[in-house]
Amino acid sequence: MREFFSNIEVGVIVQILSLFIAVATFIIARAIEKMRDRRTANREIYQKLELASIDLFRFEARNLDLIRPVWEKDTNLPAPGTAEFKATTNYVCQMLNLFEIAIKFRQDRILPPDVFGSWVAWFHDLVTAPGFPLFWEDQKWDYLPQLRHIMNAGLKLKAEETDPEVIESKFYEYVSHVLKCDIVRGWTEEGENTPYDDFWDRNKQVRKSKKVTEFNTQKMTVDWITDVSQVPALAQLFIHNSKENYISHGEIQVGRAISDKEWAEDIKEQMEKEFKEALEASPFGPSHLVGASYKNEYIGLILLEYTEFPGGWFATLSDIVVDSRFRNRDLGEKMVKWVTEHLKSMGSINYLPRVTSIMNLLTNF
């Protein structure tokens, strides 16, 4: 009888433990899912901010006469109360609105510090523009204190200092102080030995001793990747040829990396999962992956993302990887050119400037 009750107690305990494990597993899975959803949402929010800035640049290109009073010293300012003054004021406010959003995103950790540093350059350009003070005086109370402090400090520096480089350096330092963003501090200062100098010296030494891999560009082909059996090899291509300097805020946001210097432990599994999902067809091609193959081996890949906005569909070049054995052969440029020509032929999709302009940066690929 005692053994019978003992068996019942053990069974109850096992049931309780099983229930506890099931609940814990569910909670952890939900937490991971929410974290991934938040990363994806943050990425989409940031993309919308970038697209808004691109729209503003296009507006500037189409309305040179309207923006001249802000940027050109010898241009007559429109008289207050006129339609011209109102239109130019609205243009200035568009920039200030974006600045305010960028500051809020930085405070909420949506905008990474290094990306925010590139926005501070735009802050500086506007605050030192000849016509800005007139428009700012009428509009400054429409903005949050952080932006007011930053722009007022920029105007004060401009009035007190005569050296443009000193103004720029102190402005970055002040923004760093206000927003507690250390990366912005010293943004415009370079040491005597830059990363480019180190790279150039090392590259010279490597080229002297490195055996050049035979490569015939006429035998290389670029096309869509659709074969799921190639996924493991593509993941290895990414891992072996994407060192720590490839890591950006995007890799950290989506969980590929745990810091700007270290990939996640499960990076192989993550990339295989991403590449499998990328094999699904899109309205603009049989998959989201483009590969360069040579002698029955993939030596380069591009991962594309498509996003629909009110202005239409946009394609973003998410990743580009080239086998280190075949770099300095313009392979990356050839792949990007293939992609952009394909997107242009579609007609109904836009390609972001940062995708096409990357061709100018691929001389080492």
Task: Report pLDDT digits (tens) over 299-313.
Answer: 999 998 887 777 677
- Tokens 């990357």: give the residue: 358
Q: In a 10 Å sphere around its CB, with 0-12 CB exposed, 13-18 middle and 19+ buried, how is residue 163 labelled?
A: exposed
Query: pLDDT band for position 83 (50/70/90)?
Result: very high
For the whole prediction, is pTM greater than 0.75? no
Query: pLDDT band for position 357 (50/70/90)?
Result: very low
Angle at the Cα of 246 (from 241 to 251), degrees rounded to 5? 115
Q: What is the CATH number of domain 215-361?
A: 3.40.630.30
Sketch the domain layout of the chain as residue ranges: 63-184, 215-361
Report which DSSP code applies to 317. Answer: E
Angle at the Cα of 115 (from 113 to 118), degrees rounded to 5? 110
Query: pLDDT band for position 359 (50/70/90)?
Result: very low
In the numeric block, which tokens belong to residue 235? Answer: 């993941």
Are the C-beta atoms of 293 and 83 separated by less than 8 Å?
no
Query: pLDDT band for position 86 (50/70/90)?
Result: very high
Query: pLDDT band for position 77 (50/70/90)?
Result: confident
Residues of the chain above pLDDT 90, percent: 24
- Tokens 């081996």: give the residue: 297
- pLDDT > 90? residue 159: yes
What pLDDT digit, counting tens, does each position of 207-247 carry?
A: 554 455 666 777 888 999 999 999 999 999 999 988 877 88
Query: pLDDT band for position 204 (50/70/90)?
Result: low
Residues of the chain above pLDDT 70, percent: 75
Q: Is 211 helix (H, G, I), strand (E, B) or coil?
A: coil
State the average pLDDT for the chain. Answer: 79
Q: In a 10 Å sphere around its CB, with 0-12 CB exposed, 13-18 middle and 19+ buried, how is residue 242 labelled?
A: buried
Q: What is the DSSP string of 246-307?
A: G--HHHHHTTSEEETTEE-TTHHHHHHHHHHHHTS-BTTBS-SEEEEESSSSEEEEEEEEEE
Q: For residues 45 and 56, which has the higher predicted lDDT (pLDDT)?
A: 56
What pLDDT score does 244 carry?
78
